[in-house]
Chain A
Amino acid sequence: MIFDKPDSVELLDAVNHFLNEKIKDEVPPHLAFKLRIVENVLNIVSREITLGEKLSNEVIKDLRELIEKDTANIKDLALLIKEEKLDLQNEDLKDLLVKLSKNKISIDNPNYSTFKKLID
């Protein structure tokens, strides 16, 4: 990257800090609720920049092993399930769907109760 510091994650962190420390207590209740959503969105973006590629590649690697095709993506997997070309009782398929779901939620909302329960 040719860009100077702070990097994108550090910039997002600064914005989040500003919202939390300076703005949060100044806004009326109905906007405080929306402000929390804004903070959540910034955190999603930050996690996706940091971990997104790794978590995505993990799933794609397993997916390509399962269906033995080295260009396959999520769309292909969805189609194979839809057309029942995969055995729906296959444990490797179930494991893959679990991993896909875990990796997605760990970016979108790692505090989500079901995810926390499953990684404990």
Chain B
Amino acid sequence: MLRRKFLTQSALGLNALSQLFGKGLPTHFPAKAKRVIYLFQSGGPSQLELFDYKPQLVKYANQNLPESIRKGQRLTGMSATQSSFPVIPSRFGFKQHGKNGTWVGDLIPHTASIVDDITIIRSLHTEAINHDPAVTFLLTGAQIAGRPSMGSWLSYGLGSEAENLPAFVVMISPGQGGGGQPLYDRLWGSGFLPSKYQGVKFRSVGDPVLYLSDPAGMTRDDRRAYLDTLNQLNEQQLTEFGDPEISTRISQYEMAFKMQASVPELTDLSKEPQSTFDLYGEDARKPGTFAANALLARRLAERGVRTIQLFHRDWDHHGGLQKGLPKRCQEVDQASAALIKDLKQRGMLDDTLVIWGGEFGRTVYCQGRLTADDYGRDHHPRCFSIWMAGGGIKPGLVWGETDDYSYNIVQDPLDCHDLQATILHCLGLDHTKLTYKFQGRNFRLTDVHGKVHKSLLT
């Protein structure tokens, strides 16, 4: 009763509230996808071992990368002064899978098993050659910090359909190698958009959401009684001052109270049947693993969360690729495929867009020492592979082609702004119309670029 009174008193307060919780906004055109799950592989997984099969490389093994391929393109400071650039073929096998006989690396057998449900893009490319600018570019549309992240654009543009959960949730898993490139709050930050659109990090250690738990010695009843008093006191103030912000504040405390119940319910996997863990792997029982986060992603999707972004770290194989890459693959392969199968069996794949990939690819030439049991690859921005599935994306497609060295794209290039435009399109948004005026200019996720690649769409 209390709440209804406030809402009628203040349409303004309601407006502010609806943008974060529980109220969708109209799309530009009918959307295929209602939500997006981005399985981000931070550090730059090698396309050469996973998706971009280059059998002919065996012929060129240990030879210097020809100038006709490199074409003087810039290299990172880490290999630019290297005295030679020996070509190194993948030391892991590839096999054909699915109806179309798509080549997939042996390191990711589970992904191979869903190849008919996903579209592999082998021709994504980026402008940046280092992690910070490259991840920032892919996820905010600009290399320099300050722009809103894709998820916050979606919250701004589409609002939320989750009742008691934020519209944009982020989860992070470290690679078990113990290292990996750092991540930055800006990757899910709201940039110049109001901060209510920023992604909320769900954590595996401590409170899943910062400050979610009441202190020890305080029960749910205590909190309820506390909030009843707080609300009444704030209501006194509202009567006195008439400021709509006060009624918004009261609603936000109520929402916080609901989150205190809904988030633990969400993260409690004890009621998931054994079949779930058979699907995602036993790792999914361990909080903080990629598998556990993938399972949570499905649970968040079921509850209407708009953007779910996972980050798995430690794909940066300058050296130690031969040992490190299989481990990373093992950590994410089964659960990534499981998520697709799970969404499909629940009838949710059609309206859930799933994306898997990193910020750039890796060089065909070896960086550092080349030995019988070790090699490494430097960052490679000119082509890299990702996959997409569900939510308006054609299944079973392989898009784009690179040259014999997986160095340059020879067919159907797709740049990061194109990817962003295409993602927004799946969600019913025209990337040229989703704008926010800041510093006198209408900003977009895709800046002044981006093209929707309709051939990728159903």
Asked if A and B bind, the verdict is no
The interface of chain B, by Cβ under 8 A from chain A, is none
The interface of chain A, by Cβ under 8 A from chain B, is none
